[in-house]
Amino acid sequence: MLRIMKQFLQGKRKKITFGDIASDALPTHLAIIMDGNGRWAQQRGMPRAAGHRAGAESLRGVVNVCGELGIRYLTVYAFSTENWKRPQEEIDALMGLLVEYIEKELDALKKNKVRIKAIGNIEQLPPSAYTRIKKAEEETAHNERLFLQIALNYGGRRDIIQAVQKIAADVVAGKLPIEQIDDGSFAGYLATNGLPDPDLLIRTAGEKRLSNYLLWECAYTEFWFTDVFWPDFRSVDLYQAIYDFQHRQRRFGGLHEQSK
């Protein structure tokens, strides 16, 4: 009975389009955990690498839509510090796909004024991937339409630990008085330094956890989860997430009247 009711309600739900999105209430910073590539491929009897390739196509579409909507910052979780535990064959495929994506999309990204930046310990990536990423960062450094931040070999806990280490070093060196350490100064030592915290985080494939992603930055981020695997994520799904975000009340620990 519950399943039937759910299907009925979903069938009655309005299909959100570009025109339903309020241009004056967009999330300034959108974060995405692109999950479900491997499961998408396995369900189709394909190698996991095929799922990652299909996921790259979804990323292309989301980047285009974000640019069209006017979203300023997009951060995507591409490879975590824990992903090194995966089979070497899959890791090699992911790194190869990263290089291929940058080489294939760089001209289009420059044309569309998209700036690319990688966060995480990218110096530990294979040389070919590291070189392509640095090249993309340099060639798009002056673009201002959309800031595309790619989390590669990134972990939220490690980022916080590294920030604490840098703060401690500056305190010892006399560069930073202890009494000046606060939320703002701490954030300046994180990989996301200079960017506003994410307003909305989307996670695909039915999982409902952060998985060590932007732990400090997501303190007051709105979460939106979907069962759709990332390779199947389309503009209509993004519109729905933003539409739902625009109809939430963000109080940041205060009362609704205060947030107004």
**What pLDDT is stored for residue 10 in this prediction?**
47
* Burial of residue 13 (number of CB atoms within 10 Å: 0-12, 13-18, 19+): exposed
Tell me what the mean pLDDT of segment 199-218 comes to.
98
Across all residues in the chain, what is the average pLDDT? Answer: 93
**What pLDDT is stored for residue 14 in this prediction?**
76
Choosing from 35, 159, 199, 237, which is the catalytic residue?
Answer: 35
Q: Give the span between the Cα atoms of 166 and 163, in whole angstroms.
A: 5
> Could you tell me how many residues make up the chain?
260
DSSP 176: S
* Lowest-pLDDT choice from 10-19, 130-139, 163-172: 10-19
At residue 228, the 3 state secondary structure works out as coil
Percent helix, strand, coil in the chain (nearest 5)? 50, 15, 35
User: Over the stretch 83-138, which tens digit does the pLDDT of each residue have?
Assistant: 999 999 999 999 999 999 999 999 999 999 999 999 999 999 999 999 999 999 99
Catalytic residue at 107? no
Stronger pLDDT, 256 or 161, i.e. the higher one: 161
Q: Where are the domains of the chain?
A: 25-158+197-245
165 has a pLDDT exceeding 90: yes
Stronger pLDDT, 78 or 249, i.e. the higher one: 78
**What pLDDT is stored for residue 7 in this prediction?**
42
Q: What percent of the chain has pLDDT over 70?
A: 92
Choosing from 64, 83, 121, 143, which is the catalytic residue?
Answer: 83
22 has a pLDDT exceeding 70: yes
Q: Which H or E element spans position 147?
A: strand 146-154
**Structure confidence at residue 8 as a pLDDT band (50, 70, 90):** very low
**Domain covering 25-158+197-245 in this structure, CATH number:** 3.40.1180.10
5 has a pLDDT exceeding 50: no
Catalytic residue at 35? yes
- Give the residue among 121, 183, 108 at the shortest CA–CA distance from 152: 121
**What pLDDT is stored for residue 251 in this prediction?**
77
